[in-house]
A and B are shown apart, each in its own frame.
Chain A
Amino acid sequence: MTLAVLGSMLRQPALRRLGLRNLSRRKWNTVLVVVGSMVGTALISGSLVLNDSTSLFQENEARQTLGEIDEVVQQTGQRLPSDRRPIPSFGEPVLSAVTPENIQEESRDLEGGPVEVDGVLPALVQEVPAEADGDGEELATPAATLIGVDWESLGEFGSEPPPVSGNAPPGPGEAYVSEGIAEVLELDTGSAVTLTGQTGPEEFEVAGVVAEDGISGYRSQFSSSEGPVLVDEAAARALLGTDEGEANTLFVSNEGGVTEGVEDSEEVAETVQSILGDVEGDGAEFQVNQVKRDTIEQGGFQIGDIFLMISSFAILAGILLIINIYVMLAEERKGELGILRAVALKRSGLVRLFVYEGYAYSLIASLVGTLVGLGIAAALVQGLNRASSAFEDLFGRDLAVPFNAEPASLLAATSAGLLITFLAVFVTSLRVSNLNIVSAIRDLPEERPQRRPRGRLAAQALLFAGGLAVSLWGFAAENGYAMLIGPVLAAFGFGFLLSLFVPARPLWSVVSAAVLAYAYFANEFEAVAVENEESPAMFFVSGVLMVLAAVLLVTFNLSFVYGGLRLLMRLVPALAPILRIAVAHPAAKRSRTGFTLAMFALILYVVTVSAVFSSTQNAASERTRDAQLSGYDGAVQSGPLGSIEDFEGQVEENPGLRDATEGTAALSAGGVVLPEYEADDYETAFGPPIGDAAPGAGISEYVTYVPDGFLGTTTDELSERLPEFGSDREAWEALSEDTDLVMLTFPYDGSGDFLARPELGAGDTIVMQDPVTGEEAEKTVAGRIDNPGGFNLGVVNGIIVSERAEGEFTDLQAQETYLLELGGGVDVEAVSRELEDEFAAAGAQSFLVEDILGRGQVFIDTFVNIVQAFLAFGLVVGVAGLAVISARSVHERRREIGTLRAVGFKKSTVGWQFLVESSLVSLIGIVIGISVGALGGYNLFNFVIEDPSAEYVFPWIQMALIGVGVWLASLLATIVPAVRASRVPPVEALRHGG
C-alpha cells in the first residue's frame, strides 16, 4: 500500500506538492489531525505490546519453574489445590517402561510420525516443612519442594540440562536450596536446614544456593511452596521412607528447547499414557500432566487479548473520529477543491490529492501512535505488577511481568494503524471528491440527487438479499456470527429499499430500534450465546451493533431529545438564542452528529460494561464470603506428613489465637474412587483433573469425615434433601446419627466449579472405594449442598460423612483440616501471622477467608482499575475528538458567527452557544453509551456468572461520576474553541466564501 501511494506520488509531482503543502501550511491543524488519527494505533500497539509482555512472562515462568521439563508423570488422583497428601510412589515396571526409546517406538503409528523425547528423569518429589535457625529465631516454612534425583541423570536431562546439574553432586547430608527458600529461611552456603519427611526430621547442610532455573525452580501445580530443595536420590529416599528403586515422579523432556518442545506435548502425553496402560497392575492410575503447555498456553490469561477486545471499541471510535475530521477538512476546502476541479483536475486527481495528504497524516499518526502505545503498555505492565503483588507471598515468588516489546508487534501495530487510518481517509476521499463542481465553488450545499443512481439501488438490493442469505445460512449452520449479523444486514438493506417510499425518520427509527432489540436478544439463540462465551469478538460485534443502532435511533429522533430544551427556552428567555443555535447545528448535520455520538457512546459502552462486571463480581464475592468454609472463618491444613498433634491445645496455649477463636472443628479428608463411574465423564474448569485421566479409570472423589460440632453448626444450605427431613438443620444433624448417610457438595454443572460429580440426587446410593485396598462402602445420599456460586476455597468438599464412619477404610491416606471460627472485630492479619508461626513448622498451611478474599478482591479491583485506566485513554479519543471537531467547526463557521455578532449576539452568547452545542452532543453520547452499556452488562452478567442467585448490580454512583467526569472533560476541551468562537469579530460576516 505504501509503495502504491509513494509510486503514485512520484508519477504526480504537481498533485503531490499540492497535497503535501497543506501539511506544512497549517501546522496546528496537522497536529490536531495527527492526534486524532493516532489514537487507534496507540491502542493497537498498547495491546500487542502488553501481549508480548505477558507471553514473555509465561515463557520466563516456563523457563524458571520447568526448564526442560515438558510433562510430569505421577500416580495421583489429586485435583484440588488444597489436597496435600503425599504422592504415591511406583517401581521398576513403570521406570523401565517409560523410556525415550519406548516412547518413540510406541508413537510410531501416530499421525504426525513418532515423537522424540530427549529425557526421562525419575525423581522423588514431595512438599515438606523446612526449618532453620535464623539469628536466634526459629524460621520455618510449611512447604519446601523436596526433589531427590540421581545427579548424573540430571546432567543428561534434555538438550539443555538444568544449570544446577553443573554443581558438584550433593553429598549424603547436603542439599542445594533455591533462592526462594534461602531467602525465607535466611540460608547461605554452609548453614543448616532441617527437613521433615515421613521418617522424621533430618538436618542438611546447604551445599549452595541456586538460582531458580528449570528443576531448581520446580513447584507442583497450585503449590504454595517457597521453592525446591535438591538432594541426592538416596537422601530423599531415606527422608520419605521410600524403597530402593522407587520414584514418585517422572519428568519428561520433549525434544527441542524450553519452548519448542511444547508442540509435541499432547502426542507425548498420549503415548506415555498408553505405555503406562500396558504396564501390569496399577498403570491405569497414572496421570501425565502437560505442565509446560499449561504454563505457556493457559498459565496466565491472555490479558493483551482482553485489552485488544476492549480497545476495539475505542479503536472504532478513533476511526469514526478520523472520518469526521477528514470530512470536515474536505468540506472546508470545498471551494478550493471545486476550483481545482473546474481547472480540469479529474475526479481521480482530486482523490489522489486527498490520498496524498491523508497518507502523510496516517504515516505520521501511525508512527506516533505506536510509540504512545508503547508508553501505555509500560504503564499497564506497572499496574499489573502492582495488582499481582497482592499474591506474591501466597505463591511464594515474584510474579512481576517483564516489559517486553517485540519488533514484530510494533511493526504490526504501525501497519495496522496505517492501514486503518488510511482506509478511512481513502473512503472519505472517494466520497467527498464526488462533489458537484458548481456548488463547491459557490459554497452552496450539495444538492440531493432526486433519483438515486441505479448502481446504488442495486447495491442496496444486494445488501438486503445478502443479509437474508447470510441469516438463512447462519440459522441452518448454527453459526452465531451469521445469525447475529445476517438479519441486521437484511434489516438495513430493507430499510434502504423502503426509503424510496417511506419518510426517513419513522423508517430508520423502526429499523434501528429493531436492530437494537435484535442484537440484545440474539443471545437467546444457543449458537450466539456459545460464541459469546467463547470469543471476545462476539462481545465486540454485538456491542457495536447495539451502540450503533441506539445512536441511529437517537440521531433520527433528536427533535424529541431536544424537545425538553424547547420548553427550557420558553421558561428562560435568556437561554433562547443560545439553545436555538446550539440545537439547530447538530440536528442539521445529522451524520456528523451521529459520528460524534457514536464515538462517545462506544467508549462509554465498554466503560459501563466493565464497571458492571466488577460491581456484579463484587456483589457475588460478598455473598460467597459467607458461604466459604461452611460458615467458619479460617482453616489450618496439615501437611503431607503427620498430623497436627493437638490442634485445640495449641490454640489454647497461644494467647493471640485463644482470644480470637470462638470455636474449632477438625475434618479429615481422603481420596476414594467411585467405581460405578468413568473418569472421562467429566472435566473441571481447569480441564480434566490434573492431566488426562487414564482410560477406564473410576472417578476420583474426596470423602470428608466431619465431627458433630461441624454438623451442629454448619451454615451450608442444601439444594435438596431427603423428604423425611423438615429442614436443612435436621438433615445435617441426621448425619451424626446415621453413618450410612452422606451429603454431597454441590454438583458440577459442566461449566463452572471444579467439584465434579455425576448427577446424583437425594435418596440415591453411592459406592465409594479405597483405591489402595479396594475396600468398598455403600452410602445413601441424604442431600446436596447448594452451590454457593463464585469462588470456593474447596476445603469442605466431596462426599461428607460423619466422623463416626472414619475407619471404614483401614488404610485411607487422609489429610486433616481444622476449621476456625473467629470472634467479631478480630485483626485478620495478626491472626493470620499467628497461625503461620504456630503451625508452619509442622508443614501446616493456614489461611483466613477474609484474608484470601481480600487479596482476590484487591486483584479484581486493580485489574478493573487498569482496564478503566486503559479505557480512560479511549475516552481521550472522545474528548480530544470533540475538541478537534469543535475547533474545526469554529473555523468553518466564522462567517456565520460574524453574522450572529452583527445581528446582536454578544461575545459571551456566542461562546456559550458553542459550549452548549458540543457538550449537549457529548452528553447525549454519554447517556446512550451508559444506557446501552447497562444492557450489554446485563447480557454479559447472564452468561458469565452462572450462579442463579447472583444479582445484577448496576453501579449507579460510579457511572454517574464517570458520566459527569467525562462530560466535564468534554466541556473543558471545548472551552478553547468556544473562546475562539467568541473572539470572531462581527466584520467576518462580510467575508465571502466563508
Chain B
Amino acid sequence: MLVTELAAEAREVYKSYNTEGITVHALDSVSLQIEQGALVAVMGPSGCGKTTLLNTLSGLDSIDGGEIFIAGEPLHAMRDARRTEYRARYMGFIFQGYNLMPVLTAAENVELPLLVSGVGVAAARKRALEALHEVRLDDRVGYRPNQLSGGQQQRVAIARALVNEPAIVWADEPTGNLDSETSREVLDLILKLNRENGQTFVIVTHDPGVGSLTNRTIQMQDGKIVGTVEDPEQAARGA
C-alpha cells in the first residue's frame, strides 16, 4: 500500500492565526508527502510558515482544515491524549533551543519519551545509553544541560528524538543557535542517522548548506509550498 510507505502526509492543510482582527494565513492549502527514510529540508523566507508547518504536521498545534496522516494514521482526527501518545511513539523533535530539561541529566532527558511510553526504568536507561553512544556522548551521560556545550546539548536532543525509534523526526532550525563548525557536526550526525538507520527527518532551515545535503528541499512562501527541489544526486547517494 502506498499510504503506509509514507512517513507523513498532508492534504490541503489550512492554518490561520487571528490576532487583533488581522488574520494571517500561516498555511494555505498545503499538501505534501514524505516517504519513509527521506531527508527533507523546508526552506523559505522568515514568516512564511515553516515552523507552523512543522507544528501542525507533528500535531503540536491544531489545524483549521485538511488532513494529516502519520505512518498512515489520521492525526487530525485524534483527541489530544491519543495524539500525545502517538507523538511519544512515532515522532521525535529537535528544537532550535535544544529544549532539554535543565534539572535532568543527559541520560534522564533521553529517557523521557521512553518512560512516558511505558518502558520500564531499567530498559529505558539501557536504550538511552545506546542513543547517547550513537551521538558520541558516552562520557557526558550524567551531565546536566548547563554543563554541556550548545553542540553537545543538541546532540542530547537528537538522542532524545531518536531513542524511541520514531517514524519521523521533526527538526526546527536545529543548527540555528550553533556556530558553523558545530552545525556541521550536528548535520553530519543527522545525515549519518538518515543514511545508516534509514531515519526519516524533516528539517526546517535557513541554511542553504543544509538544503544541499538533503534529498529534497521544499520551498515555502506566504504559507504555500511554492516548489520542491529533488536532488537526485543526493538521493542516489542516500540510497
Chain A: residues with CB nearer than 8 A to chain B? 444-445, 569-570, 573-574, 576-577, 580-581, 584-585, 587-589, 895-896, 898-909, 985-987, 989-990, 992
> Can you name 14 A-B pairs with beta carbons within 8 Å?
A444-B146, A577-B112, A587-B103, A903-B93, A903-B113, A904-B89, A904-B112, A904-B116, A907-B81, A907-B84, A985-B61, A986-B61, A989-B93, A990-B96
Q: Which residue of B lies closest to A992 (CB)?
A: B97
Question: B82 to nearest A CB, angstroms?
Answer: 10
A573 touches B118 (CB 8 A): yes
Question: B145 to nearest A CB, angstroms?
Answer: 9
* A570-B121, A573-B121, A584-B104 known; A445+B146 contact, CB < 8 A: yes
Contacting A904 at CB < 8 Å: which of B95, B113, B146?
B113
Q: Whole-angstrom distance between the alpha carbons of A898 and B124 in the complex?
A: 22
Q: Which residue of B lies closest to A567 (CB)?
A: B121
How many contacts between A and B, using CB within 8 angstroms?
107
B101 touches A904 (CB 8 A): no
Top 9 closest pairs, chain A to chain B, by CB: A904-B88, A588-B103, A577-B115, A899-B99, A584-B103, A986-B60, A904-B116, A445-B146, A576-B115
Q: Is B76 an interface residue (CB 8 A)?
A: no
Given contacts A577-B115, A903-B93, A903-B112, list 17 more A-B pairs with CB under 8 A: A445-B146, A569-B121, A570-B122, A573-B118, A580-B108, A581-B104, A587-B103, A899-B95, A901-B84, A902-B87, A903-B113, A903-B160, A906-B85, A907-B81, A989-B93, A990-B60, A990-B172
Q: Whole-angstrom distance between the alpha carbons of A577 and B103 in the complex?
A: 14
Q: Is the interface of A mostly helix, strand, loop or mixed?
A: helix
A989 touches B61 (CB 8 A): no
| Across-interface contacts of A907 in B (CB, < 8 A) | 80-81, 84
Q: Whole-angstrom distance between the alpha carbons of A869 and B124 in the complex?
A: 49
Chain B: residues with CB nearer than 8 A to chain A? 51, 55, 58, 60-61, 80-81, 84-85, 87-89, 93, 95-97, 99-104, 108, 111-113, 115-122, 124, 144, 146, 160, 172
| Across-interface contacts of B112 in A (CB, < 8 A) | 577, 580, 900, 903-905
Among B96, B102, B111, B144, the one with the most A-chain Cβ atoms within 10 Å of its Cβ is: B102
Q: Which residue of B lies closest to A447 (CB)?
A: B146
| Across-interface contacts of A576 in B (CB, < 8 A) | 115, 121, 124
Question: B42 to nearest A CB, angstroms?
Answer: 15
| Across-interface contacts of B118 in A (CB, < 8 A) | 573-574
A584 touches B120 (CB 8 A): no
| Across-interface contacts of B93 in A (CB, < 8 A) | 899, 902-903, 989
Q: Which residue of B lies closest to A993 (CB)?
A: B97
Q: Whole-angstrom distance between the alpha carbons of A585 and B144 in the complex?
A: 12
Q: Whole-angstrom distance between the alpha carbons of A896 and B60 in the complex?
A: 14
Question: B76 to nearest A CB, angstroms?
Answer: 15
A581 touches B101 (CB 8 A): yes
| Across-interface contacts of B119 in A (CB, < 8 A) | 573
Question: B196 to nearest A CB, angstroms?
Answer: 23
Question: B134 to nearest A CB, angstroms?
Answer: 17
| Across-interface contacts of B84 in A (CB, < 8 A) | 901, 904-907, 986
| Across-interface contacts of B116 in A (CB, < 8 A) | 577, 903-906, 909
Q: Whole-angstrom distance between the alpha carbons of A992 and B95 in the complex?
A: 10
Among B95, B103, B104, B119, the one with the most A-chain Cβ atoms within 10 Å of its Cβ is: B103
Contacting B102 at CB < 8 Å: which of A445, A580, A985?
A445
* A573-B120, A989-B95 known; A580+B115 contact, CB < 8 A: yes
Q: Which residue of B lies closest to A896 (CB)?
A: B101
| Across-interface contacts of B100 in A (CB, < 8 A) | 899
Contacting A585 at CB < 8 Å: which of B51, B58, B103, B124?
B103
B81 touches A906 (CB 8 A): yes
Q: Whole-angstrom distance between the alpha carbons of A895 and B146 in the complex?
A: 16
Question: B178 to nearest A CB, angstroms?
Answer: 14
| Across-interface contacts of A895 in B (CB, < 8 A) | 97, 99
Q: Whole-angstrom distance between the alpha carbons of A581 and B89 in the complex?
A: 20
Contacting B55 at CB < 8 Å: which of A444, A909, A987, A992?
A987
| Across-interface contacts of A570 in B (CB, < 8 A) | 120-122
Q: Whole-angstrom distance between the alpha carbons of A904 and B102 in the complex?
A: 18
A573 touches B61 (CB 8 A): no
Question: B185 to nearest A CB, angstroms?
Answer: 21
Question: B28 to nearest A CB, angstroms?
Answer: 19
Contacting B61 at CB < 8 Å: which of A584, A587, A900, A987?
A987
Q: Whole-angstrom distance between the alpha carbons of A903 and B112 in the complex?
A: 7
Contacting A990 at CB < 8 Å: which of B51, B85, B103, B160?
B51
Question: B69 to nearest A CB, angstroms?
Answer: 19
Q: Whole-angstrom distance between the alpha carbons of A992 and B51 in the complex?
A: 13
